[in-house]
Structures are given as C-alpha cells and as structure tokens.
C-alpha cells in the first residue's frame, strides 16, 4: 500500500519532470509520424498492431545484418511512465548493441504513456498485446521463438515481471531496471512463472523503492526455490555488488545493487533517467545475460 501511494504521488511529480521520467517533445520519426507500410528489412520502422480494438504503435529496429530468412533474437523494451518507445530507445542505446550482435529490438508505446503493470497504469490488456506483438514478429519477421526477451525500466520493469508470469512460455528472460515484483497481484504464492524465466535486475540504493524491489526479488527467489551460486564475474567498482542464484526450475537470477544510484538506467548517456556514472552499463549486461539464456524447452 505504501508503495502504491508513493507511486501515485510520484506520477503527479512525473508530469512535471519528476523521478519517473517524462515525455520528450516529438521529433522526426516519433509517435506523431504516420506509420509506414510493413516490410521486413534492415533499418528503423514505425509500425502499428491492432489488438483488443486498439491500434498499438511500436518502433522496430532491425540491424544491418538482418536476414528475414534466418531466425533472429528479439528484445522488447518497455518504457517508464509517462513515456514512449522513442524515449526508451534514446535511454537504452539498444540499437547500437543490436547492430553489433544482430538482434531485433521493439519499443512499444504504452497506452496513454504507460503499461498496465503490477501497481500502475490503466486497464489495457498489455500482457495480451505483448503476446500478440511477439507472435506477429515471429510470423512476419522471422524471430526465433526460443530467443525472445523482455526488458524495461520503472513501470516497464514492473510490466516485465507481470508478463514473465502471465505470458507462459513466451519470454526466455527478462531484464528489469529500477522496477519490481510487488503489489496485490503478486501476493498469492503461486504467482510465479509456470515455465522457467531467468531474471537480471538492477537496484539503485538511492531509489525510494529500493527496499520494495529487494523484497520482491527475495520473494521471487523463495517461491522458485533459488539458491545462491558464485558470481560469474567481479562486481567492479566500490558500491556495486552482484549476487547470482540458480532456481529449482533451472532459471537464473542475477541482482546488481548500486549503492549510489537512484531511479535510473545504469550507464545510459542520454535520456531523463540516465545514470552515466553508475559504474556499469546495464544495456551491455542485459544483452550478455539474454544471449546466455535462450528459452529452456
């Protein structure tokens, strides 16, 4: 309840540029531009998918090496509230990593600037939308069903946890930044994935929701029978720690804790929630985690 009240208060602040982020003015290629005809090819695409009687907009980046005849990994990146796919693209820098590693990135726009996640926002069927979007990209763009991943920050991070649980068997792993597994929906002990979903998450010690995020990860691991394992790499600079766990269903959980960071994306160099001096680059670590965790069959 306290986090719900705090988030609602934070959302009011967000509209005036508070910690949850805010919309940028639309520019070339932004959500105000007319959608283009869909044609699988390398490049940047602004597309629309009809779901639940709504036209849902999303950006899709296909790297220069994209070949529609070959199965490609897919990362779906979910923005903060209020936000947009364009804002998420700017914040994460995922396009550059996709160009090097040859995967697709989709940046959906939430309805009215947000996703219907665990404690916020709206009532749109976003689990259904993400499932439909994934299915469309598998069918039309040659996405590999075993290598579909979801990442997000704040409201988008919460949405990643919700989709991991409710979109059974769809996502191989999720990457959550400054977001958490909390709220009334998560209270039942059986509210966990029915098939393995690995998790990498980043928690800032100065984030006002840090305790909630930490408790959410502990609950997730308790319910899935996760046990600590030695970290696979050193944490890095002072104030940055890493904890790894292997769960009973074979999934992995990696938690990065950054004592000096707030509600931000570590290593981002532009965007409202950027933390360029956080001591690590979340975008790179998320992709490396995803690449090591195809869906367990």
Q: Which of 132, 211, 225, 216 lies closest to 176 in space, CA to CA?
A: 216
- Of residues 291 and 24, more confidence is placed in 291
Domains and CATH numbers, the chain: 56-291 (3.40.50.1820)
CB 31 within 8 A of CB 109: yes
In this predicted structure, the answer to whether residue 26 has a pLDDT above a threshold of 60 is no
Residue 231's pLDDT band (cuts 50, 70, 90): confident
pLDDT confidence of residue 97: 98
What does the pLDDT look like over 67-122, one tens digit per residue?
A: 999 999 999 999 999 999 999 999 999 999 999 999 999 999 999 999 999 999 99
pLDDT confidence of residue 128: 98
In this predicted structure, the answer to whether residue 25 has a pLDDT above a threshold of 80 is no
Gyration radius (Cα) of the chain, Å: 18
pLDDT confidence of residue 7: 38
Residue 237's pLDDT band (cuts 50, 70, 90): confident
Residue 296's pLDDT band (cuts 50, 70, 90): confident
pLDDT confidence of residue 236: 64
pLDDT confidence of residue 197: 98
Parallel/antiparallel/unpaired status of strands 72-78 and 143-153: parallel
pLDDT confidence of residue 238: 83
Mean pLDDT of 217-241: 88
| Mean pLDDT, rounded, of the chain | 89
User: Which helix (H) or strand (E) segment is 201 a member of?
Assistant: strand 198-204
pLDDT confidence of residue 297: 64
Q: Which two tokens stand for residue 256?
A: 């990065």
Query: What is the Cα–Cα distance from 136 to 168, expressed in whole angstroms?
Result: 17
- Of residues 3 and 228, more confidence is placed in 228
Name every residue whose Cβ is closer than 8 Å to that of residue 96 and which is 6 or more positions away in sequence. Answer: none
Query: What is the Cα–Cα distance from 295 to 297, expressed in whole angstroms?
Result: 6
Query: What is the Cα–Cα distance from 288 to 282, expressed in whole angstroms?
Result: 10
In this predicted structure, the answer to whether residue 234 has a pLDDT above a threshold of 70 is no
What does the pLDDT look like over 248-262, one tens digit per residue?
A: 999 999 999 999 999
Query: What is the Cα–Cα distance from 35 to 59, expressed in whole angstroms?
Result: 10
In this predicted structure, the answer to whether residue 283 has a pLDDT above a threshold of 50 is yes
pLDDT confidence of residue 289: 98
What does the pLDDT look like over 197-222, one tens digit per residue?
A: 999 999 999 999 999 999 999 999 99
pLDDT confidence of residue 233: 65
What does the pLDDT look like over 114-150, one tens digit per residue?
A: 999 999 999 999 999 999 999 999 999 999 999 999 9
In this predicted structure, the answer to whether residue 5 has a pLDDT above a threshold of 60 is no
pLDDT over 70, % of the chain: 86
Q: Which of 148, 150, 134, 163 lies closest to 73 in space, CA to CA?
A: 148
């Amino acid at each position: 309840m306290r986090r719900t009240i705090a988030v609602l208060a934070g959302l009011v602040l967000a509209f005036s540029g508070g910690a949850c982020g805010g919309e940028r003015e639309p520019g070339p290629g932004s959500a105000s531009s007319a959608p283009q005809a869909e044609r699988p090819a390398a490049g940047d695409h602004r597309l629309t998918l009809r779901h639940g009687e709504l036209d849902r907009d999303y950006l899709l980046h296909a790297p220069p090496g994209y070949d529609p005849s070959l199965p490609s990994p897919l990362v779906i990146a979910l923005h903060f509230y209020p936000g947009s796919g364009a804002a998420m693209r700017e914040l994460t820098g995922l396009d550059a990593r996709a160009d090097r590693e040859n995967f697709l990135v989709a940046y959906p726009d939430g309805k009215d600037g947000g996703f219907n996640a665990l404690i916020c926002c709206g009532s749109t069927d976003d689990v259904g939308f993400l499932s439909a979007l994934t299915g469309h990209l598998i069918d039309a763009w040659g996405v590999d069903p075993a290598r579909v991943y979801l990442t997000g920050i704040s409201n988008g991070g919460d949405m990643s946890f919700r989709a991991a649980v409710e979109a059974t068997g769809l996502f191989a792993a999720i990457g959550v930044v400054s977001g958490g597994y909390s709220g009334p929906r998560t209270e039942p002990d059986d509210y966990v994935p029915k098939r393995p979903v690995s998790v990498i998450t980043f928690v800032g010690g100065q984030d006002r929701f840090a305790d909630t995020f930490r408790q959410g990860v502990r609950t997730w691991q308790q319910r899935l029978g996760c046990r600590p394992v030695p970290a696979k790499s050193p944490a890095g600079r002072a104030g940055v720690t890493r904890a790894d766990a292997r769960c009973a269903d074979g999934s992995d959980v990696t938690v990065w804790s950054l004592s000096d960071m707030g509600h931000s994306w570590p290593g981002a160099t532009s965007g409202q929630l950027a933390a360029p001096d956080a001591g690590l680059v979340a975008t790179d670590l998320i992709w490396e985690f995803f690449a090591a965790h195809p869906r367990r069959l």
